[in-house]
Amino acid sequence: MKKKHSSVITGTEKEFLDIFRRLCYSRSSWQVWADLISAIACSLSNVTDRTPEHFETREKEYV
């Protein structure tokens, strides 16, 4: 028996979408998403690669 997909969004997914929509007030959702992914990638890279020239470049990118 197949489960029906509920269209009701709750919990952390709802919280994320609420915050995401607020961030889209002056930019397109695609731009907000690209900026978010870039910030996450820079953060993850800076945890693993602390080489001064790479670290500083990435820090400046999302300031």
> Each residue of 23-59: pLDDT tens digit?
999 999 999 999 999 889 888 888 888 888 888 888 7
Only one residue has tokens 């993850």, namely: 44
Which residues touch 33 (CB under 8 Å, ≥6 apart)? 20
pTM over 0.75: no
> Each residue of 16-33: pLDDT tens digit?
999 999 999 999 999 999
Distances (CA, A) of 44 to 30, 37, 50: 21, 11, 11
